[in-house]
A and B are shown apart, each in its own frame.
Chain A
């Protein structure tokens, strides 16, 4: 039952994320929640909100479809992606109107119905390549 409950919470987070409603998203995160994988350093809730706001500003139509969800009593693993059109400045890269898809996996740790830590593994390099900021590796170009 705990497993199902944890999954339900994660679905709700993705609903809020898909509506770009970060205020609602963070209601599911504990005040001390740690975010790994968004930046070279570990972020806190404020840092997470800033980081995501910048992403959503650059990709105003961003959506985060969910492909797989695996859970145990205190973890939920979500394989998902981000789709969107690059419509304003992102990490110094000017808007180019390119459609991008970024594959990602996130591991959520939960305690007492709150998320306390997240490990994100997203293909940021792939994103930069799709935006044209980093050249494609020869193998995939050919």
Chain B
């Protein structure tokens, strides 16, 4: 694969056309546009429509992995890339570029940047670790390199900050998150991550790996699986992996006191240059003079050329003359007897000592109120707002105190551009650099205040979660979920402390407010982990039983999110017992509803029906019509599962009537879908169509996309069984499009199966079988299974598809389908049905009109060869190939290369 992807559209177009030996006219013919259009496109005076860009990509045989980039370039004016092309979903083909912008320039690192770039681009280098002590500038160096690598990685460059992680088990999930992957169904994160990276050319930057170094072997496994993945890691220590290449970051060059150069030359020495730049940021009048030059040089030497130490010192030049600074900094490590929080603190290097000394020096200069404020801020993990600082660390005027710490570089303002887009206008956020926070934390522990602070921290974040909770439904849902997401590290820290026995009940309350966020945002494994800690028998006694029951329910829901119904069931049964014992009938009803769903998934329909019936009775008894309607719907579903369609219909009819009464149109539309199933099951297609049409009308008005797609799919089924294949195909396509748009993967599986039914009916057995294989793989990923009634329909499709294939080809086609990427499967489903009914065999006869040579050319074309490649294979000139192709297109009545390819594939030429 070319590592140098073109950066502008017009030259790319022209170059590709020439590579393929096509004239402008020929290309115009291939894509079906005027020659003048191609000329204007190549001149950069015109932009293609989206459709034309796609045609061009096909005609020019742009490699699959570059197509998104090609399309993107096609749609922007001028020769510049869009500012931040960020892919949003895992399936999105747009390259991911997620590298935080650094707020300050990088001084004295040009050589290091160039060296790391060169090493990273060497073919044999897959894992490069940037090694150095704290404060040497590893993170900034890695950011700078990452930002320069866009052109070299077709699928993206993604920066993953690990500084706030303490648990090595969270490394892979954090990487997956950064790539936009979720913990889908019962597919482990590790598997999703491997699968995603396998087919992609990506650079991942893992920052601050030293504290999760136990996860290093997992990186080796990733590299072994994903051939085009590269990792750039920053760490205080090497990872000690076989594949590891190392780059040890040197300190900035410092002057030699015995041979001081002129003031001008001195100012160019990197350590001095950095000190000057940062000094001038706080004291614009500050400059290097013959008088202060030796003193500045001495300060830089005392600080070992460590960038962070130099920054801390420079931040003080507004208030202290450099000679005072020099005096303050004289052997700081000796002055402020220091200890580091490093795990290997027994062997602190002199550099680490210098860094710690510089931080301690800066801290010692603070007056006591600021010092207390500073060390208390260490209680926050992953940043905080002023409001949080005031509430938790409360120390007079927090505006002034924050400003003071920012001035002294002991605190950083988080750049809005590195926050979630919805939060960029919110209250600003602050954080401490990792090494500074370690120091502050040590001071906090020594002050004896740590527990009190962590208690206040837990309580503050509980209040925040409580404020968010009612807002997790409604118009502001996304914003509030983002707010919780931004504080996730703080929640984690609060839970660690609370659940360690310090405040179990408060932590339990917090879990009860947070689990819905985990559920919606897909943090299933993590949510289950925290809940399991809270639900440990020893904790039960420290919580009110109602809260404990709520947490059991939460753990059950997160388990079933991952398809782990076996785990969910006993949790719900335990919760049920607690609610029953407390006489909490609403709680009993709610749990019964969930338990019914879970045991239904486990296939115990009788037990599930019992649960839903009892739930229904309780809802009726309590006079809660909305919940009664839900229960009626659930009971109906179980009767359908048990094969009693008449009963199912009766419950659904009652549910429909009740919802009509309540004016619950969404609910009506949903139960109409079920009634349609019931009608379809008994082959009452006319009735099924009426019901689904009515549901479709509601869904269109309500804007419930997934349910609309379901109605369209049902209507497609009716058209299919009635023999109106063109309508069926069109409805399935629309349904697919919507499912893809909303990311409903179970819906996609249903649609793929429906298209398979259509294809099988038209003797496209192989395609049908591939589609079924793809649907099966998709269902496995999300842990979705057919209900018994759906299974009946599904098995008919499987049988129809298998009928036309020999066992061996059947297995092969099924396997081919299983390994398709979702987008490939969708492409396969989108191809028109080349059915005898639809196409009346015109194309099959067309094949017979091709000469043996033309068939050969067509076969090679379908294998993906370029004209040049075909010419070389057949020992003819590209012009001859071009001539053959023109004849072939004419005979087949097709207008594009892709249409010819499709023809070849459909006729088993390839």
B368 touches A24 (CB 8 A): yes
Shortest CB–CB separation between residue B875 and chain A, in angstroms?
84
| Contacts known (A8-B364, A19-B400, A24-B368); A68 close to B323, Cβ less than 8 A | yes
| Contacts known (A19-B400, A69-B327); A13 close to B367, Cβ less than 8 A | yes
**A128–B152 CA distance with the chains assembled, in angstroms:** 66
| Contacts known (A64-B319, A66-B319, A69-B327); A12 close to B368, Cβ less than 8 A | yes
* Residues 333-371 (chain B) with a chain A CB within 8 angstroms: 335, 364-370
* Residues 351-395 (chain B) with a chain A CB within 8 angstroms: 364-370
Shortest CB–CB separation between residue A137 and chain B, in angstroms?
27
B366 touches A14 (CB 8 A): no
Main secondary structure on B side of the interface with A: helix
| Contacts known (A4-B335, A63-B319); A21 close to B367, Cβ less than 8 A | yes
CB of B328 within 8 Å of the partner chain: yes
**A84–B396 CA distance with the chains assembled, in angstroms:** 25
**A63–B316 CA distance with the chains assembled, in angstroms:** 13
CB of A103 within 8 Å of the partner chain: no
**A66–B365 CA distance with the chains assembled, in angstroms:** 13
| Contacts known (A4-B335, A21-B400, A64-B319); A15 close to B364, Cβ less than 8 A | no
CB of B809 within 8 Å of the partner chain: no
A12 touches B367 (CB 8 A): yes
**A23–B328 CA distance with the chains assembled, in angstroms:** 25
Q: Mark contacts of A1-43 with chain B using CB atoms, 8 A cut-off: 1 yes-contact digit, 0 otherwise.
A: 0001001100111111011010111011000000000000000
Shortest CB–CB separation between residue A102 and chain B, in angstroms?
16
Residues on the A chain within 8 Å of B564, using CB: none
Shortest CB–CB separation between residue B409 and chain A, in angstroms?
14
Q: A67's closest neighbor in chain B, by CB?
A: B321
**A68–B365 CA distance with the chains assembled, in angstroms:** 15
Shortest CB–CB separation between residue B374 and chain A, in angstroms?
12
Residues on the B chain within 8 Å of A66, using CB: 319-321, 324
CB of A94 within 8 Å of the partner chain: no
Q: B400's closest neighbor in chain A, by CB?
A: A19
A contacts with B, residue count (CB < 8 A): 24
B contacts with A, residue count (CB < 8 A): 19
Q: B325's closest neighbor in chain A, by CB?
A: A66
CB of A65 within 8 Å of the partner chain: yes
A68 touches B321 (CB 8 A): yes
CB of B287 within 8 Å of the partner chain: no
Residues on the A chain within 8 Å of B323, using CB: 67-68
Residues on the B chain within 8 Å of A64, using CB: 319
| Contacts known (A12-B366, A15-B367, A27-B368); A69 close to B324, Cβ less than 8 A | yes
| Contact pick for A15, options B328, B365, B396, CB 8 Å | B365
Shortest CB–CB separation between residue A45 and chain B, in angstroms?
16
**A4–B328 CA distance with the chains assembled, in angstroms:** 9
CB of B681 within 8 Å of the partner chain: no
Residues on the B chain within 8 Å of A4, using CB: 335
CB of B54 within 8 Å of the partner chain: no
**A109–B280 CA distance with the chains assembled, in angstroms:** 34
| Contact pick for B328, options A11, A16, A21, A25, CB 8 Å | A11
Q: Mark contacts of B402-424 with chain A using CB atoms, 8 A cut-off: 1 yes-contact digit, 0 otherwise.
A: 00100000000000000000000
Q: B370's closest neighbor in chain A, by CB?
A: A15
B400 touches A65 (CB 8 A): no
| Contact pick for A65, options B318, B364, B365, B369, CB 8 Å | B318
B369 touches A63 (CB 8 A): no
Residues on the A chain within 8 Å of B366, using CB: 12, 15
Q: Mark contacts of B296-327 with chain A using CB atoms, 8 A cut-off: 1 yes-contact digit, 0 otherwise.
A: 00000000000000000000001111011001
Residues on the B chain within 8 Å of A28, using CB: 367
Q: B334's closest neighbor in chain A, by CB?
A: A4
* Residues 142-160 (chain B) with a chain A CB within 8 angstroms: none
Residues on the A chain within 8 Å of B368, using CB: 12, 24, 27
Shortest CB–CB separation between residue B910 and chain A, in angstroms?
76
B365 touches A67 (CB 8 A): no
**A4–B400 CA distance with the chains assembled, in angstroms:** 28
Residues on the A chain within 8 Å of B327, using CB: 69
A65 touches B404 (CB 8 A): no
**A27–B371 CA distance with the chains assembled, in angstroms:** 14
B319 touches A65 (CB 8 A): yes
Shortest CB–CB separation between residue B333 and chain A, in angstroms?
13
* Residues 42-59 (chain B) with a chain A CB within 8 angstroms: none
Q: B283's closest neighbor in chain A, by CB?
A: A65
**A16–B327 CA distance with the chains assembled, in angstroms:** 20
A24 touches B369 (CB 8 A): yes
**A95–B482 CA distance with the chains assembled, in angstroms:** 49
Residues on the B chain within 8 Å of A24, using CB: 367-370
* Residues 47-106 (chain A) with a chain B CB within 8 angstroms: 63-69
**A98–B318 CA distance with the chains assembled, in angstroms:** 20
Residues on the B chain within 8 Å of A13, using CB: 367
Residues on the B chain within 8 Å of A25, using CB: 367
Residues on the A chain within 8 Å of B319, using CB: 14-15, 18, 63-66
Residues on the B chain within 8 Å of A27, using CB: 367-369
Residues on the B chain within 8 Å of A65, using CB: 318-321
Residues on the A chain within 8 Å of B404, using CB: 15, 19
**A25–B368 CA distance with the chains assembled, in angstroms:** 9
Residues on the A chain within 8 Å of B321, using CB: 65-68
Shortest CB–CB separation between residue B697 and chain A, in angstroms?
67
B324 touches A68 (CB 8 A): yes
**A28–B368 CA distance with the chains assembled, in angstroms:** 9
Q: B320's closest neighbor in chain A, by CB?
A: A66
* Residues 113-131 (chain A) with a chain B CB within 8 angstroms: none
**A18–B407 CA distance with the chains assembled, in angstroms:** 12
Q: B366's closest neighbor in chain A, by CB?
A: A15
**A8–B396 CA distance with the chains assembled, in angstroms:** 23
**A51–B849 CA distance with the chains assembled, in angstroms:** 106
**A66–B325 CA distance with the chains assembled, in angstroms:** 10
**A37–B51 CA distance with the chains assembled, in angstroms:** 84
Q: A28's closest neighbor in chain B, by CB?
A: B367
Q: Mark contacts of B516-532 with chain A using CB atoms, 8 A cut-off: 1 yes-contact digit, 0 otherwise.
A: 00000000000000000
Most buried by A among B327, B365, B367, B400: B367
Q: A69's closest neighbor in chain B, by CB?
A: B324
Q: A18's closest neighbor in chain B, by CB?
A: B319
Shortest CB–CB separation between residue B367 and chain A, in angstroms?
4
**A18–B400 CA distance with the chains assembled, in angstroms:** 11
Residues on the A chain within 8 Å of B396, using CB: 21, 23
**A16–B367 CA distance with the chains assembled, in angstroms:** 6
**A69–B319 CA distance with the chains assembled, in angstroms:** 13
**A64–B369 CA distance with the chains assembled, in angstroms:** 19
**A100–B625 CA distance with the chains assembled, in angstroms:** 78
| Contact pick for A21, options B320, B365, B369, CB 8 Å | B369
Q: A8's closest neighbor in chain B, by CB?
A: B364
Residues on the B chain within 8 Å of A18, using CB: 319
Shortest CB–CB separation between residue B562 and chain A, in angstroms?
52
Residues on the A chain within 8 Å of B328, using CB: 7, 11
B365 touches A12 (CB 8 A): yes
**A68–B370 CA distance with the chains assembled, in angstroms:** 24
Shortest CB–CB separation between residue B418 and chain A, in angstroms?
29
Residues on the A chain within 8 Å of B367, using CB: 12-13, 15-16, 19, 21, 24-25, 27-28
Residues on the A chain within 8 Å of B365, using CB: 8, 11-12, 15
Shortest CB–CB separation between residue A91 and chain B, in angstroms?
26
**A127–B84 CA distance with the chains assembled, in angstroms:** 55
Residues on the A chain within 8 Å of B364, using CB: 8, 11-12
Q: A8-B365, A19-B367, A23-B396 are in contact. List 16 more A-B contacts (CB 8 A).
A: A4-B335, A8-B364, A11-B328, A12-B367, A13-B367, A15-B370, A21-B369, A24-B368, A25-B367, A28-B367, A65-B321, A66-B319, A67-B321, A67-B323, A68-B324, A69-B324
Interface CB pairs A-B, < 8 A, 27: A8-B364, A8-B365, A11-B328, A11-B364, A12-B365, A12-B368, A13-B367, A15-B367, A15-B404, A16-B369, A16-B370, A18-B319, A19-B367, A19-B400, A19-B404, A21-B367, A23-B396, A24-B369, A24-B370, A27-B368, A27-B369, A63-B318, A64-B319, A65-B318, A65-B321, A66-B320, A67-B324
- 4 closest A-B pairs by beta carbon, nearest first, are A16-B367, A12-B367, A67-B321, A24-B369
